[in-house]
Amino acid sequence: MDGELEKQIKNALNEVNPWQKVPTNLKGAFLVKTPSSKQGESFMVEINPIDANGTPLKRRGVFLKRLSELESFIEVMENEKLKDLMIALENIQGLTHEEKLKTIEI
Give, in order, the Cα–Cα distances in Å from 41 to each of 20, 55, 57, 81, 86. Answer: 14, 28, 28, 38, 37
pLDDT in tens, 38-48: 777 789 999 99
Cα within 13 Å of Cα(67), Cβ side: 1
Give yes or no: residues 10 and 55 share one domain. Answer: yes
Give yes or no: residues 73 and 58 share one domain. Answer: no
pLDDT in tens, 54-101: 888 899 999 999 999 999 999 999 999 999 998 898 888 887 655 566
Give yes or no: residues 47 and 3 share one domain. Answer: yes
- Domain contains 76: yes
In which band, very low, low, confident or very high, does the pLDDT at 2 lie, cut at 50, 70 and 90? confident
- Domain contains 32: yes
Q: Is 33 exposed, middle or buried (0-12, 13-18, 19+ CB in 10 A)?
A: buried
- Domain contains 104: no
In degrees and rounded to multiples of 5, residue 65 shows phi and psi of -115, -25
Task: Give pTM, 2 decimals.
Answer: 0.76
Structural domain boundaries, residue 3: 1-65
- Edge to edge, what strands does the sheet with 62-64 contain? 21-23, 29-37, 40-47, 62-64
